[in-house]
Amino acid sequence: MFSALDKLKIEIYGASHAEKISLFVEGLPKGKKINIQELQEYVDRRKAQKAAFSTARLEGDVIHFASGITEDGTLTGEKLEAYVLNTSQHSNDYNNLVNTPRPGHADYVAKVKYKGEMDMRGGGIFSGRMTLTICILGGIARQLLREYGIDVEAYISSIAGIKSTSYKDKDLTIEEINKANPLFRVLDEEKGAQMMEKISEAKSNMDSVGGTVDCMAFNVPVGLGGPLFEGFEGKLAYAMFAIPAVKGIEFGAGFDISNMKGSTANDSFYYDDNKVVKTYTNHNGGINGGITNGMPITLRVAFKPTPSIAQKQKTINMETKENVELEIKGRHDACIVPRAVVCVESVVEIALLDSLL
């Protein structure tokens, strides 16, 4: 269960090579209509593609519903059950990992914690595939947030040190973000091409690269969150770390704010023409004192390079207790970032909906 959420009770079952991956959600509003076709298209943004950055494991990722929603997409108020079938498992690729954990992955900690009683094929429950469930709920939340006029959009702000246009450089609009290629969402095309080159280069060196995803939530009302442990930054951060391979999160100017003077870091208030309170700058990322202030929420998430790389690596054999070398087989993303954009959006959408319900 996602305990930092108040109204939505989420349970996730299944694993990368199990028959299916399932999501159960309680607390969704009864009677609201979801466009299922649109939801599928949203979830498909995280699908593996025939591209250099992507795993060669191509799955259908068709969403099935077992309860909680009618055929025409009306939420019934019952516990929602959604699932996706796994159809392209190559489980033999993982045989050599049973006793020799992949550096950077969850194999070692899972084996110790669960004493080997765990289906770790394909990364098991730690697999990036589990984020399908986050995107299904995120896509539902996205449609429900429209009633509040809220729009959440994420994009790639860097890969392998190549930085592209971000909210830190200029005020971005929803339209500007939406112009970018939905499957490789970079706002500056030239930088996007350079990122692709870096990914291909890493892949041909049997390596991987990481990067950052920025996210903006527009038209968020004043007042979500609270002080201390009630803070909205804390809620977002908690939920964001549900995405595997996330290693950091910044709000607004983030770590750079520590180098600013107070006179720059402070976002000065003004009344705009309609007497709505705004701030001239948004270094605080739309949150003060843990409470949303009405400016867009801006945040940046750091993703590490994909742990499974084809290069030989040092590891241990947990059966023989020897130091050994490991060669990983199997199909892996050379860079997680392009597929993670929609996962980041989803987490923000889930946290916002949970606070608004």
Ligand X SMILES: Cc1cc2nc3c(=O)[nH]c(=O)nc-3n(C[C@H](O)[C@H](O)[C@H](O)COP(=O)(O)O)c2cc1C
**Where does this chain bind ligand X (CB under 6 A)?**
55, 105-106, 123, 126-128, 131, 243-245, 304, 306-308, 332-333, 336, 339-340, 343
Phi, psi of 169 (to 5 degrees): -90, -35
Bridge partners (DSSP) listed for residue 317:
322
Minimum distance of ligand X from residue 247's CB (angstroms):
7
Nearer to ligand X, 191 or 332 (CB): 332
Shortest Å, Cβ 63 to ligand X: 17
CA quadruple 38, 135, 344, 191: dihedral sign:
negative
Rounded least distance, CB 166 to ligand X, Å: 20
Q: Pick the closer one to ligand X by CB: 216 or 340.
A: 340
Q: 279 and 268 in contact (C-beta within 8 Å)?
A: yes
Nearer Cβ to ligand X, position 152 or 340? Answer: 340
Q: How far is the CB of 134 from ligand X (least distance, A)?
A: 9
CA atoms within 13 A on the CB side of 343: 27
Q: Which of residues 167 and 303 has its CB atom nearest to ligand X in the complex?
A: 303
CB 347 within 8 Å of CB 239? yes
Q: Is 157 helix (H, G, I), strand (E, B) or coil?
A: strand
CA distance 193 to 201: 12
In this complex, which beta carbon is closest to ligand X, that of residue 32 or of residue 304?
304
**Closest separation between CB of residue 70 and ligand X, Å?**
30
Using CB atoms within 10 Å of the CB of residue 269, give its burial: 0 to 12 exposed, 13 to 18 middle, 19+ buried.
exposed
CB of 216 to ligand X, least distance (A): 20
Rounded Cα distance, 184 and 206, in Å: 22
Residue nearest to ligand X (CB): 128
Q: Identify which of residues 105 and 185 has a Cβ nearer to ligand X in the complex.
A: 105
137 contacts 23 by C-beta, under 8 angstroms: yes
Which of residues 128 and 286 has its CB atom nearest to ligand X in the complex? 128
Please state the closest distance from residue 242 (CB atom) to ligand X, in A: 10
State the nearest-atom distance from the C-beta of 328 to ligand X, in Å.
8
Q: What is the C-alpha separation between 132 and 43, in angstroms, rounded?
A: 7
Instruction: Give 145 or 301: the residue with its C-beta nearer to ligand X.
Output: 301
CB 302 within 8 A of CB 210: yes
Expressed in angstroms, the distance from the first to the final Cα of the chain is: 18
DSSP string, 82-137: EEEE-----GGGGGGGSSSPPTTSSHHHHHHHHTT-S--GGGGGGSGGGHHHHHHH
* Residue number with CB closer to ligand X (85 or 291): 85
CB of 111 to ligand X, least distance (A): 13
Counts of helices then strands in the chain (DSSP H, E): 8, 15
